[in-house]
Structure 1
Amino acid sequence: MQAAQAPRTSVLLVDDQPSDLLALERHLSPFELHLVTARSGEEALDRVKDEDFALVLMDVRMPGLDGLETARLLREHEPKRRSVPLIFLTGASREEMSVAHGYSTGAVDWLRKPVEPETLRAKVRVFVDLHREREALRRQQAELHEREREMLEESRRRAEEALRESQRTLSTLMDNLPGMVFRRHPDQTFALVSEGCLWLTGYSAPEFVQGTLRWTDLLHPEDLGRVELAAAEAFAAGRQLTVTYRIQTREGGVKWVWERAVGVYHPEGTLRFIEGFAADISERKAAEVERERLVTELREAVRLREEFLSVASHEMRTPLTPLALRLQLLQQAMKEKGPGLEPLNRHVEAARGQVRRLTSLADSLLDATRISSGRLTLRLEEDVDLAALVRNVATDFETQAARVDCPLVVEAAGRIPGRWDVLRLEQVVTNLLSNALKFGAGRAVHLRVEEREGWARLTVRDEGIGMDESVRTRVFGRFERGVSERHYGGLGLGLYITREVVETLGGRIHVESEPGRGATFTVELPCTPPLQ
């Protein structure tokens, strides 16, 4: 509330000297107060009966009732005015001791006459401001109480309207729900049932409510005992009952029903009613049966596929091994014959490359089937040097890297020993390096090996085509490829097998990449893997 709209602030001035009263009024004129004067203690007591004051300024020495006695009577006979602050005015130093004793009457301060204007205004300002703040707070509380009353009245009105609307809605819902709302007695006869019972059971609501038809009469004999036991246990413990079972309809058919119900109890704890909802779930049950059949067939198909892949991988390796050996022997024989067979030698070398590729594909398929069936095992060896292993693999790839114009930059200075499976670790490095050469052709590939706090870290970074977020999220999946198979080939198993091997060794792998900015694969392995 603005100052111009606020109630007036009254101050009572009590003094038997008119000149002193005029001086007080003049000193306090800047405050825009309502100044009420009294020339005696008796008159002051009359004034406080009719008006609320923010402050009382009272002279101590007055004829008749002096200031101290007036203050005492004010506190005794006007209890609601006890909180009004009172400042004594004294004209002689010998009265100061009396004024000090007068604090017991409720006085808060005293001033010596003649009153120094600034001191007077400073002290009055404090009590006036406190009074105005107190009055503002009181008005706010009154307004708040009024708003609360109005809100409670509005809430009550809305609650009544909501109750009427809820009753109407409940009635509509009960009649339109694809199921049956009910209230049953403990003996399974019905006190209330919605019209949905006709659609669910073939029996009408009056037949349930007015007759002797019990719900248990409709339950399938094979489900009756199970449902009764579940209901007895739930209602005895005060729990909600949720159960599915079959019923026999009026027409002789069978339906699957889903029921949820709660018990309503007497004050002494005995069961009074059973209230709940029952719905037909026959179609869902049929779908579940069909789904289970399809899942069983799918599992069998997956098992047969994995078995086929495993057998096919073994069968592919059987002719590839002697073929690779014969090609190697043929190439050696041609070298011994002289340089004239160099064109033929290139053809044999190309054939050997294709055999190696087929062998790698067969191995990948075999590893994938082992992983799927949980048969991927490790042969851990002590003191395996990861740095030396990476350098050796990089050396093996020098010819391939030169062919695609990819300089190999290896940072693996010191030894990084650990307890690992050498062949599987070589497989990890090989997969990552071949992947980098495939997608980063024409630019350098960087390999870095380091050790920190018992963990070895391998980083393989290329500067090739990179990948976006959609590819990064699935690149370690089985049979997943980051790019078209037509352009880069492969089964999409290399990174999948790499991740599985790394995780089996107790490590982790992740990739950072952006389109056009290459890719960085980071492998972190504990130097001492957990026990298998």
Structure 2
Amino acid sequence: MHVGQESRATILVVDDQPFELAALERSLGSLDLHIIKAQSGEEALQYLEDQEFALVLMDVRMPGMDGFEAARLIREHAPNRRVPLIFLSGARREEAVIVRGYASGAVDYLSKPVEPDALRAKVRVFVDLFHEREALRRQEQTLSQRERQVLERQRRQAEEALLESQRTLSMLMGNLPGMVFRCRPDWSLDFASEGCQALTGYAASDFASSPSLWTSLMAPEDVERIVQEAKQAFVEGRLVTAVYRILRRDAQPRWMWARSAGVFSPEGELRFIEGFMTDITEAKAAESERDRLLVGLREAVRQRDEFLAVASHELKTPLTSLSLRVQVMRKEVDAQPRGDPKERLHKHLDAAGAQLGRLASLVDSLLDTTRIISGRLSLRREQGVNLAGIVRAVASGFETQAMRVGSPLEIDAPVRVLGHWDALRLEQVVTNLLSNALKFGAGRAVQLWVEERGEWARLRVSDQGIGMDEDVRARLFGRFERGVSDRHYGGLGLGLFITRQVVEAMGGQVLVQSEPGQGATFTVELPRLPPAGESEGALDEH
């Protein structure tokens, strides 16, 4: 049925203040309505008994029977009438008032002073619903009783679903931490939910009267960027996600996050853009602070690594000079006639040489660590390197230390286990593992096994010392990590870190098995041949 053929809808406006009734009548003047005015709840009930209304607009606060009581009586005495009721009140969105209003049978709630545009929009919805209901009633007159019952049930279900949807939508939009919006294809705002006030400082009526207000709050380059992103997304059938800044009414810049979708006609023409936006200024500030801290952290790590490199080289120079001087002194002592003074000097030189060796080892560890961190750990593979021979040679150098701590060395190795390896780096691996076993071996025997397994070679170093738990094993190969306190065992916590890096650089792996009080076994597995395409003597950068 065309609009021109529909009868005028009648609405009832209830308010005890004549000027409020006049204001509501003016606001609704542009709609083709028959408006009946009542100044009390009792008068409203009398009108409702006599005629049908498309909608009731009722003030909550009235002397005598207030709006809540009138709504309750309407629902009790005319349960089948189902006339929609919108409450009006000067209270500012008080939750208790809203909840009580919905419980009394209201379908919506408007605060005074009522925005004319919002009032007309809501009234138009229920007037349209009334006309549809009237059209259905006229159709029902031509149907049988059973058909009318079925249609009546369906109509009630549809009305209840519509009213429930209206209430749910109103509550959701009123409590969202942001703004629901609809704009036209030219990005002029057509609708904004009440959240726009907290978001921008402007009321929904400001955007209704000035559709281009929203884009004026944005930077021109952001508007252009988002328009292009939206066009591409709509062509591909995607949602548009945008992050940009606006200038609030109080001149505060704020970051917005928005997600929207295009609404198209059946012919594929873009009709509207609908979506949601919220303020992410605090999140952006946290992100900027995180980035700033990350830059500072990276710079601190770079400065630390640079200091380690410089300090290592600076320490290496006097140590080399001191080591040479000790060697010269040893030769001069050897040239003197034998005697007690010479023996005592030899002991002092041996002790000094051992300390120099320890210092040189620590400095070498620092140098290797800085090379690993900066990606400059070098390998020089040689053909026919004998792992078994290296193990025996390193073990021979540790015999004195092993005797001193009461941990005899037991070696089980064939004459030769050959491979393409860096001999010096392999010696460093064996030295680190054997030194570690003697340090934590608790005065018990240390075993070394070497075996050849096809294209792989395997080295195992096992002690019967203090062992370690799962937490220690998980972090054992980290930089500067120690299984126990350095107060009792010393060291920089770099030996196992360097060992793993060297072994993995040669294509192998190092594993550990251990339990507290049951010692530890370190297993190194190395490929005997270099990776395909790598030649002997080549310098590999890692």
What CA deviation, in whole Å up to 9, does each residue of 1:457-511 have, x standing for no partner?
1111111101101100000000111100111111111111111111111111111
Please give the alpha-carbon distance, in whole angstroms, between the structure 1 residues aligned to 2:461 and 2:402: 14
Alignment match, 1:397: 398
Other-structure match for 2:143: none
Say whether the 8 Å CA contact 1:207–1:213 is kept in structure 2.
no
What corresponds to 1:102 in structure 2? none
**1:8-27, Cα deviation, whole Å (9 max, x unpaired):** xxxxxxxxxxxxxxxxxxxx
Is 1:186–1:272's contact at 8 Å kept on the other side of the alignment? yes
Identify the residue that residue 44 of structure 1 maps to in structure 2: none
* Alpha-carbon separation, structure 1, partners of 2:327 and 2:158: 92
Aligned equivalents of 1:386, 1:162: Cα separation in 2: 82
Change over 3 Å in CA distance of 1:283–1:396 after alignment to 2: same
**Which residue is equivalent to 1:113?**
none
The residue type paired with residue 364 of structure 2 is D
Question: 1: distance between equivalents of 2:464 and 2:519?
Answer: 4
**Partner of 2:289 in structure 1?**
290
1:57-99 deviations in Å (ceiling 9; x for gaps): xxxxxxxxxxxxxxxxxxxxxxxxxxxxxxxxxxxxxxxxxxx
SS at match of 2:263: strand
> How far did residue 247 of structure 1 move?
1.2
Q: What is aligned with 2:279?
A: 280
CA distance in 2, matches of 1:494, 1:416: 24
State how far apart, in whole Å, the 2-side matches of 1:399 and 1:195 are. Answer: 85
User: Take 2:500 and 2:402, find their aligned partners in 1: how far apart are those partners?
Assistant: 24
Write the mapping of 1:303-322 to structure 2, written as runs, cut at 5 A: 303-322=302-321
How many aligned residue pairs are there?
Answer: 376
1:512: which partner in 2?
Answer: 513
Calculate the TM-score normalised by the size of structure 1: 0.66
Q: Which residue pairs with 1:489 in the alignment?
A: 490
Residue 524 (str. 1) matches residue 539 (str. 2): no
Aligned match of 1:45: none
User: CA offset at residue 403 of structure 1?
Assistant: 1.1
User: Are the counterparts in 2 of residues 189 and 209 from structure 1 also a CA contact under 8 Å?
Assistant: no
Structural mapping, 1:178-257, within 5 Å: 178-257=177-256
Q: Which position in structure 1 is the counterpart of 2:368?
A: 367
3-state secondary structure, aligned to 2:403: helix
Question: Deviation digits for residues 401-428 of structure 1, max 9, x if unmatched?
Answer: 1111111111111422111111111111
Gaps of 5+ in 1: 1-156
User: For 1:18-417, what aligned pairs fall within 5 Å after superposition?
Assistant: 168=167, 170-335=169-334, 336-341=336-341, 342-417=343-418
SS of the residue aligned with 2:411? strand
The 3-state SS of whatever aligns with 1:326 is helix
1:457 matches 2:458: yes
Q: Percent identity?
A: 62
Change in 2 beyond 3 A, CA 1:389/1:238: same
Q: State how far apart, in whole Å, the 1-side matches of 2:211 and 2:298 are.
A: 50
TM-score (norm 2): 0.65
Q: Take 2:196 and 2:353, find their aligned partners in 1: how far apart are those partners? A: 77
Deviations 1:325-364 (A, max 9, x none): 2223334444544341334432332221111111111111
Change (3 A) 1:402 1:206: same
Q: Which residue type is aligned with residue 204 of structure 1?
A: A
Answering whether residue 426 of structure 2 is matched by residue 425 of structure 1, we say yes
Q: Structure 1 residues 357, 162: CA separation in 2 closer, same or farther (over 3 Å shift)?
A: farther
The residue that corresponds to 2:438 in the other structure is: 437
RMSD: 2.4
2:261 partner letter: V
SS at match of 2:275: strand
Q: Which moved more, 1:510-519 or 1:407-416?
A: 407-416
Q: 1:471 to 1:271 in 2, by over 3 A?
A: same
What letter is aligned with 1:408?
A: L
d(CA) in 1 for partners of 2:425 and 2:357?
Answer: 18
Whole-angstrom distance in 2 between the partners of 1:419 and 1:262: 63
1-structure distance, mates of 2:162, 2:414: 81
State the one-letter code of the partner of 1:223: D
1-structure distance, mates of 2:502, 2:273: 58
Partner of 1:228, secondary structure, is helix
SS of the aligned residue for 1:378 comes to strand
Bigger Rg, structure 1 or 2: 1
Query: 1:189 touches 1:208 (CA, 8 Å); kept in 2?
Result: no
